[in-house]
Chain A
Amino acid sequence: MSDDASPQVLIAGNPNCGKSTLFNALSGGSAHVGNYPGVTIDRTTARLQLGSEQIELVDVPGMYSLTASSPEEQLALDALTESNTRAVICVVDATTLERGLYLPLQLIESGVPVVIALNMMDAAARIGVRVDTERLSALFASPVIPVVATKRRGLDALLAALEEQLELRSAVARPEVTYPAELETDLATLAPVIARWRPQTPASQHRVFALWCLLSLGEDSLRGVPDDVRNAVGSIRRAAAERGRNLDLEIVSSRYVWLDHAVAETCSLQGPKPSWSERIDRVLTHPIAGISIFAVVMFGIFEALFAGAEPLIGAIETFTGFMQGQAAAVLPAGVLQDLVVEGIIAGVGNVIVFAPQILMLFLFIGFLEDSGYLARVAFVIDRVMKGVGLHGKAFVPLLSGFACAVPAVMATRTIERRRDRLVTMLALPLMSCSARLPIYILVVGTVFAGQSLGWFSAGAVALFSMYTLSVLVTLAAAAVLRRTVLPGPAPTFILEMPPYRWPSAGILWINAWRRLRVFLVDAGTIILAMTILLWALLSFPKSAEVSEHYARERTQVLRSASSQTTKTEALQALEAREAGEQLAQSLGGRFGHAIEPVLRPIGFDWQIGVGIIGAFAAREVFISTLGVVFGIGEADEENKPLRQALREARHADGSPVMTPLSGVSLMIFFLLACQCMSTIAVVKKESGSWKWPVFLFSYMTVLAYLASLAVYQGGQLLGYS
């Protein structure tokens, strides 16, 4: 920000050029993750001592050019023109110089001091690329430093060159790209308009801004560009089009003519892609072998998230339970104890319980991305995703949705365009996540126990149907969202296929850890607050009448002559029943009663209504809330008394609440409803506004209600019960 006086150095580069590796090597992994204002893109920064000066190193998202048409792309130019930006380190992959030098050329043209870090020099040397760095440096009028970021080679030279660039206060010599004379006339026409727009910008840079405007403006969603600049650009473009000129082509090809010349003069390129990378690709994108390996890798990720994270999640839950026990023992019984035990500790538990899956998923994605396989995953599966208007890169997040929507929503970051990210983020909570499974098991065990459909058990058929349905609904939702709420051109698929590389374990770990930390702080706060709110909703007001009644019963039990064990059992039963009655009296309980008329048409009663309210904390909480509602105490999905209580529950007219039909209706409701505050919290964090999580919750709840209504009413019409 320009009001922040501390000088900053940007680190920019193409995707896959090793930019983040270099950033981490320079910062020693001590980075701060924030947000760029107005867009949900991480702004990773680190402090760096350079000679006598302390500078802030800013990791700019990977890009191929400064040209922008969306606010996300615009932030690179914004960062570049901030008044405290003193220099840019432009990282270039030495194996792709013929394209990779376009970005540094554009940066140097813009007038900011640039140091070119020629990365992966070892890989380049292996495939026979030789670069005359001195000559290249002279042509670009900027230092060119060969580095190998993964091996920390060349970093000292890079920092020395950077220090020298920072001392240069005067205008530096710049390479001059020759643009066609007609274009120069257009630039001269535009320059005064630019001068009015950016009075602080030195006159020497008006021409560069004019170039940027001609290339970027038109059909864009950029912010802060005044109308007179737009109008001037519009009329220049129209006049050019009338004369058959293509301004974009003129600008870009003039630059490439200059670049091709520079590359020819300084580099000897032998050309072919490293043959082993080619050989790996032959297997990994082979029609049979490629798809088989793809399936195995995806299944491995799925299995790890689903089953592999289980022991860790169990351990965290045990630990949370232990802490709750400790707190209950230390604090006197009462509201404070309940707040600490059921509000705060439970809330913190609700946040950290996601840590294993988030870490695992980001380690996997980091590995896939850095090794180059993620691009192949998208390449192999894009055909399928295209059908529903999604990008090939949406596949991994969608698949992860089977385990948990929270890390899956975070994983949509690999998708470039905001619109494509949002569609994926808003559809994937419909994937049947692992928290829905206990509910299916409870319902199936209650209403389908021992029944069969042909060769299969009715429960297995029901479970299979739920998972199939979730996939179909998710894809359909994506297709519908793309056509209605987020209309726009189908995602284009222009994806570089980087050569295969072995990722560095340290970098994978740093990145996964950073993601987790951001989640814990940002989404964690919301989850904690919501847990406390829900606790209050289901605890207050307390009925004095109920307390007194149970106090009397307890005294009676204690006075009775039965054995100690019988007494303890009787007291536990009383406690469970009291909790149930108190819950019924609470705001949440009353709300459950109040919405019963709405729930009846889909086959539920007020008790299930209270369970649904409790389940907003997390779907599986539905079961423990039902345990309390039915006065059973602690319960899980295999709990026999809970199943029994559900089977015996009756509507006012005496008909059973849980029938196979209402069971299916309940499963469908939980499949489709957004009964998960953590998903809401993470969508808020990743989309940057409350608008999208509110929309997500509303559309999923309406969808769930309508589907359950159709199932229950339709089923009754067809004579099922």
Chain B
Amino acid sequence: MKRSLVDLPLGQHAEIASIDCERGLSRRLMEMGLLPGTRVRIVRVAPLGDPIELRVRNYSLSLRRAEAAKIAVRPEGAV
């Protein structure tokens, strides 16, 4: 089951399925280690609701919901 990263409940681990945004952005995310198969989870939402903070490859990265919506994930434990 594929879902967008923004729909992932806070704290739930998931695996990135694909990144479908504009080339510069997806290249940047990939070079920062967000690739299909990489484990990721949302650790925090900014006080005003956007951006969100991810935990990936043992570091923290924040991005806006609009961008996170373009990252498809497979929640762990889901079939």
Residues of A within 8 A of B (CB): 64-65, 67, 69, 95-99, 102, 215, 218-219, 248-249, 252-253, 256, 269, 271, 273, 281, 285-288, 290-291, 375, 379-384, 386, 392, 489, 492-499
Contact = CB atoms under 8 A, between A and B. Distances in A.
A495 B51 CA distance: 10
Contacts of A496: 32, 59-62
Contacts of A99: 32-33, 57-59
B55 A273 contact: yes
Given A98-B58, A489-B22, 11 more contacts: A64-B32, A69-B24, A99-B57, A285-B46, A285-B47, A379-B53, A379-B62, A380-B47, A382-B51, A492-B64, A494-B28
A46 B40 CA distance: 41
A256 B33 contact: yes
B58 A96 contact: yes
Interface in B1-58: 22-33, 35-36, 44, 46-51, 53, 55, 57-58
Contacts of B46: 285, 379-380, 382-383
B7 to A, nearest CB: 19
Q: Taking each of A97, A99, A273, A286, which has the highest tally of chain B beta carbons within 10 Å of its own beta carbon?
A: A99
Contact of A96 (B28, B30, B57): B57
Contacts of A499: 60
B47 A290 contact: yes
A470 B24 CA distance: 35
11 contacts: A96-B57, A219-B23, A273-B60, A281-B44, A380-B46, A382-B50, A383-B48, A383-B50, A383-B51, A494-B62, A496-B59
Interface residues of B, number: 32
Contacts of B53: 285, 379, 497
B51 A95 contact: no
Contacts of B49: 383
List 7 tightest A-B contacts by C-beta distance, closest first.
Answer: A383-B48, A98-B57, A497-B60, A99-B33, A287-B47, A252-B30, A65-B31
B33 to A, nearest CB: 4
A95 B57 CA distance: 10
A318 to B, nearest CB: 45
A281 B22 CA distance: 31
Nearest to A392: B51
Given A67-B31, A285-B47, A382 B58 contact: no
Contacts of B60: 273, 496-499
Nearest to B24: A69
Contact of B35 (A65, A252, A285, A287): A252
A496 B27 CA distance: 16
Contacts of A497: 53, 60-62
B79 to A, nearest CB: 25
A158 to B, nearest CB: 24
A312 B65 CA distance: 45
A494 B29 contact: yes
A518 B25 CA distance: 34
Contacts of A386: 50, 64
B26 A248 contact: yes
B24 to A, nearest CB: 6
A519 to B, nearest CB: 31
B23 A218 contact: yes
Contacts of B44: 281, 285
A286 B47 contact: yes
A218 B23 CA distance: 9
Contacts of A381: 48
B48 A384 contact: yes
B43 to A, nearest CB: 8
Contacts of B51: 379, 382-383, 392, 493, 495
A264 B44 CA distance: 28
Contacts of A379: 46, 51, 53, 62
A380 B26 CA distance: 24
A379 B27 CA distance: 22
Contacts of B35: 249, 252-253, 256
A64 B31 contact: yes
A102 B61 contact: no
Contacts of B25: 492, 494
A130 to B, nearest CB: 14
Contact of A291 (B22, B29, B47, B67): B47
Contact of B61 (A67, A492, A495): A495
Contacts of A291: 47
Contacts of A281: 44
